[in-house]
Structure formats: C-alpha cells, structure tokens
Amino acid sequence: MKIMRNGLLLSCLAATLMTTSCGFQKKLQLQDTYSKITVVNDSLDKLTSQWHTLRDQASISKNYTALAPARIALGSFISRGRASVANIVVTPENEAVMNEEDQLLLNQSTLVAEVYPNFEQFNEYTPKETMDKNVSLITNDLMNVKEKVASIKKMLEKFAAKNNIKK
C-alpha cells in the first residue's frame, strides 16, 4: 500500500515537472489571459452599448425606468470583470494588455457609479438644462469605450500572434 502511494506520488510529481519544464503551464496562462480579456472586453462593449441605446430611447420616450437594471447589470459585470482580470497571473508578455483592460474597466466603473445613475431620476418634467448637462458628461463615453475596446483587441491580436495562441 505504501509503495503504491509513493509510486503514485512520484508519478504526479514527474507529470507536474514535465508540464512546467516544457512550457505547458506558461502556454496555458497565456491562453487564459487571451480568453478572459477577450470575453471581458467584448461583454463590456456590448453592455455599454445596450445602456446607451436604452438611454437614447428613454430620452425620446421620457421613460427612464429601464436604465437602472441595465446600469446595475453593467456595474456588476464590471466588478466581476475587474476581479477576473486581477486573478490572471501577470507575466511580461501579458502585462501591457492587462493594464489597458484594467484601466478601461476602472474608467467605466467610475462612470457607471457616478454619472449613469443621474439619468434614472429623469422624467418628462426634468428641465432641458439638467438633461443637457448630464448628457454632456457621457457625450464621448460610448465612442471612447469602442475605441479602447478596439485598441485592446489589436493588442490581443498581436499578443496571440506573438505567443502562438489559439483564437
């Protein structure tokens, strides 16, 4: 029994040494980086676009009730996305793209927490000046997110090509 247990332990140890010494572990980490950041990046783009579409529709209908659930979903996603990115092992190969993604998530988190909720209070009696002031705070928001997402996608493409990662 003891010999069998020791043999199993040695086999596991040998398998672990082989995978780490062959670069397999590093390859998995790089693939994990690519996959997680791609998912977070694409989802952030989609959810931000949805919120802006709802806000545009609300400005026409003067019914802003749909904004709160969309903002909460976006904020929750950003929180989970930041945690997901933070749990990726930092390597010299992935540090730049991770920093860019984290900065994008941080910027969006601030807007979602501080600016987006203002719109949920609006109704048909809200003065135009108040609405215009708040709209000016997010005028470039969607375009900035789309540009940053595109920039990170380009970084991910280069990262994938350089590290021979499956897309």
Q: Tokens in use for 130?
A: 């108040």
The domain limits of the chain are 33-126
Confidence of residue 103 (pLDDT cuts 50, 70, 90): very high
Contact 80, 44 (CB under 8 A): no
Count Cα atoms within 13 angstroms, Cβ side, for 113. Answer: 10
Which of 19-28, 48-57, 152-161 shows the lowest mean pLDDT across its residues?
19-28
> Which among 74, 25, 26 is positioned nearest to 49, based on CA atoms?
74
For residue 18, pLDDT beyond 90 = no
pTM of the model: 0.82
pLDDT at position 62? 92
Q: pLDDT tens, 53-69?
A: 999 999 999 999 999 99
> What is the end-to-end Cα distance of the chain in Å, rounded?
46
Contact 120, 59 (CB under 8 A): no
Q: What is the mean pLDDT of residues 70-74?
A: 97
Confidence of residue 13 (pLDDT cuts 50, 70, 90): low
Average model confidence (pLDDT) across the chain: 88
Q: Is the dihedral of CA 34, 35, 37, 43 positive or negative?
A: positive
Instruction: Report d(CA 68, CA 88) in Å as an integer.
Output: 31
pLDDT at position 77? 97
For residue 22, pLDDT beyond 60 = no
